[in-house]
């Protein structure tokens, strides 16, 4: 029946750049058919959200044309998008906490005179009845669960007469039951003639809900396939692409001994959503443990929990084994206490300037960050930091006007060199890095890989959270795959294939088959 | 498609400028000041009828002139004339503003917007006055340290309360510190009324015995040039400004303040206890405001009222921002502000009957400050006008 449908949205040669380097969308041309559920699939940074942000008026394309119902349109603001019946439900809800559902729905509508809240509430009830939503118009938003807030966002869109709804990773924050409920709502909306575009990483959900799947990879449009003709394997292959040989060194593991043991680790984020679920694994000295996963699957919380920066749910255990054989528990300790116990833990966080470094300070002062407190003098001792800053600048080739120039003004690659340099200088026994090469050019990336390998050969337990599967497969010794806060598998990076990792990243553990087999192989 | 009005490039838009050199920045600021003075001179000429030359001369005399103040024919030495000149008044009043601005520095550097300097100042002042009023018979070497200690502590407490709430429950420090001001103002009013009794005003406290005055330290001894309450005040404030500069730059505490101010997440990552730093720095900020209150009561006014800070607790915020929290720069900025105020005050003394009232004087000072602050904007941003060409293109598109 898809053949009979006409395109409701047609994109022609859409291109969007951010700065000079990042090509987020490269000449994308595709159609969205009237009344279909289209899933948009792609890895991190493949340009899905950017593309849809241009449809909803948040970004404006650098070049290319958008046609809605055959008419060439220019969508300059979310208001223009509304006028065309396009509405996007963002991952982060845009609701006012202290307002009721009704107040949130009418907010921003340009009606003459005062709002008739009673009439609005009635229309909301009608919409709920029609599509099977469960929203109380008088409930305050702060009293709502995440799922209710999401439903409210959808109601808000329908109230404004949306014909085309865009859902950005709607299931990321939902439980399986809530997901099921969302899917039935999507089906109801489809039955009522709405067109729905949904971004998701979970292949099972793609297969369950969509009519067609469009795949993006690294900003390029790959293909659109009918869901009925797709399989998990075919979608994974299109999503991750062919394996690329990178020629990254991978020295053999020597003197492998247990350094860090994590068991039963669960964490909740600021919104009280469980982002890590009963995670257990071990990290060994002299080995690089890669961590793969779609972004936001608990990688950040995992590293921060080990570093003593994240509140963990009771029942978890994190045990550190000194090279001498003594063990210490790290749970409930602050970063300072961990340092005092003689545990040399280095951590290169994802947010370099917001967590790892002080953006307004120069290299010298940033070198001081972790041991400014050394010595009993009330004054800071900047001499060693100055020497260290000069050493890092020379050895890693940091390009900076001077070692006291605020690091905020340096380029991304140089900022990362400063941070990695400092973390390696403290002679760690455990080194955790999150997206260590994100935004770096090829040469700088290889400098970082070499540094990590050097640490591995020194007997450091390296934990490498990465996003490029080719890099993870080439650099790591083992790969731990996270999916939605669960460990969906641990693979031997020397034998694993890209498809295996891609499959585990997008499939919940209860749906895995391959994962178990690989897990047992590894043991 | 037709172009709607909103689709066109706006007529004026602002772009951020690349950092300019220190010298160029200094020249732009000096230029802005000169323009401000000339602009105001012309306004005064048109509205009041005082010619620009007289205006400039009077402004200078009132702010930096070393002519003696009032009827001081009995003065015989240069020092005594100097310490009663307009210049001296500007310096000692400027120091009051300076100390409050310096007190704000650690809090502001931490991005804790302490709007409560006025209240912390009064908390220190009223505690000192309380001891002074109730225990005038104590020996000076007991009374003054006691007053000092009580002032420091009460100023610190007034600073710690909002800090505690911020650290524990994340309350908004701007509102909190602001409202704490009004509480202490009413406390001061209460004691003011209680102590004055049936009199129309409180007047000077311990006017006869001079108990609790700085000068009670050398009372009865021989006169000497350094036995001057104002001098002690000025020297203390300058020392504190210098010490604060080095405290913020060289000490571990100063480092922690800078990290917390830049990013609380980075501070936690480094193992810094953010709560502890917030509370400690606000205690310091409040204590220094309290110290300023103590010094004003014991050396400048010898009395207390709810307007003792003359609004400098708020003016200090402007000083702190204009100086980018650099306490050396604060010395210049606070002197400049007070100099303008004093110059304008002499203008209104002299030409009040022509219409240069106190209120008019305040407007003139305000206009000058607007120029000085406004030029900061042009140092950071460039104004770009829509070019005709771009406009044409927009219409054609």
pLDDT at B182 over 80: yes
Q: Measured between alpha carbons, how far is A417 from A395 in angstroms, rounded to an integer?
A: 10
pLDDT at B389 over 60: no
Residue B182 forms contact with A (CB below 8 Å): no
Phi, psi of B100 (to 5 degrees): -65, -40
Q: Decide: residue B265, CB within 10 A, 0-12 exposed, 13-18 middle, 19+ buried.
A: middle
The pLDDT assigned to A513 comes to 42
Sort out which chain A residues have CB atoms less than 8 A from B250's CB and list them: 379-380
Partner residue facing B251 (CB), from A335, A359, A379:
A379
pLDDT at A519 over 50: no
> Where is average pLDDT lowest: A21-35, A84-98, A167-181, B335-349?
A167-181
Mean pLDDT of chain B: 88
Question: Is the distance from CB of A278 to CB of A510 less than 8 angstroms?
Answer: no
Helix H or strand E encompassing A291 = strand A288-292
pLDDT at B397 over 70: no
Sort out which chain B residues have CB atoms less than 8 A from A360's CB and list them: 258, 262
Question: Is the distance from CB of A489 to CB of A512 less than 8 angstroms?
Answer: yes
Q: Measured between alpha carbons, how far is B337 from B366 in angstroms, rounded to an integer?
A: 10
Gap from A182 CA to chain B (nearest CA, Å)? 35
pLDDT at A391 over 90: yes
Residue A198 corresponds to which tokens in the numbers above?
């949904």
More reliable by pLDDT, A63 or B395? A63
Q: Which of A82, A136, A134 is nearest to A110 (CA)?
A: A82
The pLDDT assigned to A460 comes to 94
Partner residue facing A373 (CB), from B252, B258, B262:
B252
Gap from A180 CA to chain B (nearest CA, Å)? 37
Instruction: Provide the pLDDT confidence category of residue B219 given band limits of 50, 70 and 90.
Output: confident
Q: State what percent of residues in chain B have pLDDT above 90.
A: 65
Kindly report, residue by residue over A63-109, the tens digit of the pLDDT. 899 999 989 998 988 888 988 999 999 877 888 989 999 999 888 77
| Helix spans in A210-269 (H) | 232-240
Q: In the sheet where A22-33 sits, what is the strand order?
A: A22-33, A7-18, A63-68, A71-73
CA A433 vs CA A385, A436, A448: distances in Å: 22, 6, 10
The pLDDT assigned to A511 comes to 46
| Helix spans in chain B (H) | 22-47, 52-64, 78-82, 86-109, 117-134, 140-169, 173-196, 229-250, 252-262, 264-269, 274-295, 312-322, 327-350, 358-380, 388-396
A-B Cβ pairs (cutoff 8 Å, strict): 66
Question: In which residue are the tokens 């009077």 written?
Answer: B58
pLDDT at A322 over 80: yes
* Buried residues in A222-244 as b, exposed as e (16+ CB within 10 A): bebbebeebebeebbbbbbbeee
Question: Is the distance from CB of A196 to CB of A37 less than 8 angstroms?
Answer: yes
Q: Measured between alpha carbons, how far is A477 from A289 in angstroms, rounded to an integer?
A: 6
Residue A469 forms contact with B (CB below 8 Å): no
Instruction: Provide the pLDDT confidence category of residue B222 given band limits of 50, 70 and 90.
Output: confident
Q: How many CB atoms lie within 10 A of CB B9?
A: 13
Sort out which chain A residues have CB atoms less than 8 A from B254's CB and list them: 380
The pLDDT assigned to A520 comes to 39
The pLDDT assigned to A20 comes to 66
Helix H or strand E encompassing A167 = strand A164-168
Kindly report, residue by residue over A195-243, the tens digit of the pLDDT. 999 988 778 888 889 999 999 988 899 999 999 998 888 888 888 887 7
Kindly report, residue by residue over B115-148, the tens digit of the pLDDT. 999 999 999 999 999 999 999 999 989 999 999 9
pLDDT at B81 over 90: no
Phi, psi of A11 (to 5 degrees): -105, 135
pLDDT at B223 over 80: no
Query: Region B186-192: what's the mean pLDDT?
Result: 95
Find the closest chain A residue to B263 by CA distance.
A354
Query: Region B208-224: what's the mean pLDDT?
Result: 84
Sort out which chain A residues have CB atoms less than 8 A from B253's CB and list them: 378
Instruction: Provide the pLDDT confidence category of residue B395 given band limits of 50, 70 and 90.
Output: low
**Maximum distance among all alpha carbons in chain B?**
92
Best of A75, A355, A381 to substitute, by most chain B Cβ atoms within 10 angstroms, is A355
pLDDT at B390 over 70: no
Query: Region B23-42: what's the mean pLDDT?
Result: 90
Residue A379 corresponds to which tokens in the numbers above?
């004054």
> Are A8-98+163-240 and A286-297+348-522 equal in CATH topology?
yes
Find the closest chain A residue to B266 by CA distance.
A355
The pLDDT assigned to B208 comes to 86
Kindly report, residue by residue over A37-67, the tens digit of the pLDDT. 999 988 767 888 889 999 998 888 888 999 9
Query: Region A330-359: what's the mean pLDDT?
Result: 90
DSSP state of B137: T
DSSP for A168-213, please give it. ESTTTT--HHHHHHHHHHHHHHHHTT-EEEEE-S-HHHHHHH-SEE
Q: Measured between alpha carbons, how far is B11 from B16 in angstroms, rounded to an integer?
A: 17
The pLDDT assigned to B68 comes to 59
pLDDT at B75 over 50: no
> Where is average pLDDT lowest: A268-282, A366-380, A490-504, B67-81?
B67-81
The pLDDT assigned to A219 comes to 87
CB contact (8 A) between residue A380 and residue B250: yes
Kindly report, residue by residue over A470-494, the tens digit of the pLDDT. 889 999 999 999 988 889 899 999 9
Crossing angle of the two packed helices B86-109 and B52-64, in degrees rounded to 10: 70
Q: Measured between alpha carbons, how far is A322 from B249 in angstroms, rounded to an integer?
A: 37
pLDDT at A176 over 90: no
| Helix spans in A375-484 (H) | 383-396, 412-425, 442-457, 469-475
Partner residue facing B258 (CB), from A74, A309, A361:
A361
The pLDDT assigned to B77 comes to 66
Query: Region A301-313: what's the mean pLDDT?
Result: 92
Q: Which of A298, A246, A236 is nearest to A267 (CA)?
A: A298
The pLDDT assigned to B104 comes to 97
Kindly report, residue by residue over A392-443, the tens digit of the pLDDT. 999 888 888 889 899 988 888 889 999 999 999 989 999 999 988 877 777 7
Partner residue facing A358 (CB), from B7, B266, B271:
B266
Mean pLDDT of chain A: 87
Residue A327 forms contact with B (CB below 8 Å): no
pLDDT at A134 over 80: yes
Q: Measured between alpha carbons, how far is A99 from A85 in angstroms, rounded to an integer?
A: 25
pLDDT at A174 over 90: no
CATH superfamily, domain at A286-297+348-522: P-loop containing nucleotide triphosphate hydrolases (3.40.50.300)
Q: Measured between alpha carbons, how far is B170 from B193 in angstroms, rounded to an integer?
A: 37
Q: How many CB atoms lie within 10 A of CB A281?
A: 17
Query: Region B274-290: what's the mean pLDDT?
Result: 97
The pLDDT assigned to A522 comes to 39
Partner residue facing A355 (CB), from B254, B255, B266:
B266
Query: Region A444-467: what's the mean pLDDT?
Result: 91
CB contact (8 A) between residue B251 and residue A380: yes
Residue B278 corresponds to which tokens in the numbers above?
């917030």
The pLDDT assigned to A517 comes to 39
pLDDT at A340 over 80: yes
Sort out which chain B residues have CB atoms less than 8 A from A365's CB and list them: 255, 258
Question: Is the distance from CB of A480 to CB of A292 less than 8 angstroms?
Answer: yes
Question: Is the distance from CB of B121 to CB of B155 less than 8 angstroms?
Answer: yes
> Where is average pLDDT lowest: B41-50, B65-74, B270-279, B308-317?
B65-74
> A8-98+163-240, which class in CATH?
alpha beta
CA angle A195, A197, A201 (to 5 degrees): 155
Instruction: Provide the pLDDT confidence category of residue B45 given band limits of 50, 70 and 90.
Output: very high
Q: Domain limits of chain A?
A: 8-98+163-240, 286-297+348-522
């Amino acid at each position: 029946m898809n053949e009979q449908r006409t395109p409701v949205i047609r994109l022609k040669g859409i291109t969007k750049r951010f700065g000079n380097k990042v090509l987020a969308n490269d000449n994308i041309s595709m159609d969205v058919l009237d009344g279909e559920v289209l899933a948009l699939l792609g890895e991190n940074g493949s340009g899905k959200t950017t593309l849809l942000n241009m449809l909803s008026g948040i970004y404006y394309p650098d070049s290319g044309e958008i046609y809605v119902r055959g008419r060439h349109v220019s969508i300059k603001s979310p208001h223009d998008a509304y006028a065309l019946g396009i509405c996007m439900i963002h991952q982060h809800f845009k609701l006012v906490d202290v307002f009721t559902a009704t107040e949130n729905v009418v907010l921003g509508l340009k009606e003459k005179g005062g709002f008739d809240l009673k009439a609005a509430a009635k229309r909301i009830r009608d919409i709920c009845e029609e599509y099977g939503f469960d929203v109380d118009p008088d409930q305050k938003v702060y009293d709502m669960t995440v799922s209710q807030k999401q439903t409210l966002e959808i109601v808000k869109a329908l109230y404004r007469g949306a014909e085309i709804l865009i859902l950005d990773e709607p299931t990321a924050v939902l439980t399986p039951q809530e997901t099921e409920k969302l899917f039935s709502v999507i089906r109801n909306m489809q039955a009522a003639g709405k067109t729905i575009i949904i971004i998701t990483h979970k292949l099972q959900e793609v297969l369950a809900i969509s009519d067609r799947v469009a795949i993006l990879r690294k900003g390029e449009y790959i293909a659109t396939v009918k869901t009925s003709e797709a399989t998990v394997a075919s979608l994974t292959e299109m999503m991750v692409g062919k394996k690329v040989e990178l020629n990254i060194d991978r020295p053999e593991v020597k003197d492998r001994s247990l350094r860090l043991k994590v068991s039963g680790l669960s964490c909740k984020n600021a919104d009280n959503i469980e982002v890590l679920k009963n995670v257990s694994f071990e990290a060994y000295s002299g080995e690089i443990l890669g961590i793969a996963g779609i972004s936001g699957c608990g990688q950040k919380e995992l590293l921060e929990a080990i570093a003593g920066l994240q509140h963990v749910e009771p029942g978890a255990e994190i045990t550190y084994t000194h090279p001498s054989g003594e063990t210490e528990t790290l749970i409930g300790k602050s970063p300072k206490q961990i340092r005092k116990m003689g545990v040399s833990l280095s951590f290169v966080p994802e947010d370099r300037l917001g967590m790892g470094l002080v953006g307004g300070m120069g290299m010298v002062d940033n070198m001081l960050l972790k041991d400014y407190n050394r010595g009993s003098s009330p004054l800071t001792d900047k001499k060693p930091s100055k020497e260290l800053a000069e050493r890092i600048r020379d050895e890693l080739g940091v390009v900076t006007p001077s070692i006291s120039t605020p690091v905020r003004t340096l380029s991304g690659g140089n900022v990362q060199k400063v941070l990695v340099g400092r973390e390696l200088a403290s002679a760690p026994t455990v080194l955790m890095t999150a997206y260590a090469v994100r935004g770096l050019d090829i040469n700088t990336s290889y400098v970082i890989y070499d540094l990590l390998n050097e640490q591995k050969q020194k007997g450091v337990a390296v934990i490498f959270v990465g996003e490029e599967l080719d890099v993870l497969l080439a650099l790591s010794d083992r790969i731990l795959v996270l999916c939605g806060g669960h460990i969906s598998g641990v693979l031997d990076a020397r034998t694993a294939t890209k498809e295996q990792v891609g499959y585990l990243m997008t499939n919940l553990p209860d749906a895995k088959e391959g994962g178990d087999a690989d897990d047992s192989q590894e043991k | 498609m037709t172009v709607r009005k909103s689709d066109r490039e706006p007529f004026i838009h602002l772009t951020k400028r690349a950092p300019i050199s220190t010298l160029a920045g200094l020249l732009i600021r000096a230029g802005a000041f000169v323009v401000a003075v000339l602009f105001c001179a012309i306004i005064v000429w048109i509205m009041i009828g005082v010619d620009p030359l007289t205006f400039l001369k009077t402004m200078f005399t009132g702010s930096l002139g070393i002519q003696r103040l009032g009827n001081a024919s009995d003065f015989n030495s240069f020092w005594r004339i100097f310490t009663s000149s307009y210049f001296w008044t500007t310096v000692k009043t400027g120091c009051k503003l300076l100390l409050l601005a310096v007190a704000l520095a650690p809090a502001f550097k931490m991005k804790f917007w302490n709007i409560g300097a006025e209240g912390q100042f009064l908390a220190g002042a009223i505690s000192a006055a309380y001891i002074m009023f109730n225990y005038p018979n104590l020996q000076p070497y007991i009374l003054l340290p006691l007053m000092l200690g009580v002032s420091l502590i009460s100023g610190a407490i007034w600073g710690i309360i909002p800090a505690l709430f911020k650290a524990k429950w994340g309350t908004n420090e701007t509102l909190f510190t602001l409202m704490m001001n009004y509480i202490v103002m009413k406390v001061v009013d209460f004691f003011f009324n209680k102590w004055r009794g049936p009199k129309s005003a409180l007047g000077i406290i311990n006017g006869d015995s001079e108990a609790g005055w700085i000068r009670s330290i050398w009372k009865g001894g021989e006169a000497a040039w350094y036995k001057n309450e104002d001098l002690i005040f000025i020297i203390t404030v300058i020392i504190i400004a210098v010490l604060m500069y080095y405290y913020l730059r060289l000490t571990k505490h100063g480092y922690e303040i800078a990290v917390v101010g830049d990013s609380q997440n980075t501070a936690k990552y480094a193992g810094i206890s953010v709560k502890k730093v917030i509370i400690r720095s606000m205690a310091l900020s409040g204590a220094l405001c309290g110290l300023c209150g103590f010094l004003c009561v014991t050396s400048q006014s010898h009395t207390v009222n709810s307007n003792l800070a003359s609004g400098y607790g708020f003016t200090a915020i402007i000083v702190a921002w204009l100086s980018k929290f650099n306490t050396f720069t604060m010395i210049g900025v606070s002197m400049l502000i007070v100099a303008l105020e004093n110059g304008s005050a002499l203008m209104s003394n002299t030409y009040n009957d022509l219409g240069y009232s106190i209120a008019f004087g305040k407007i003139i000072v305000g206009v000058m400050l607007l120029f000085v602050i406004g030029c900061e904007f042009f140092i950071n941003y460039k104004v770009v006008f829509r070019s005709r060409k771009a406009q044409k293109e927009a219409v054609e598109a």
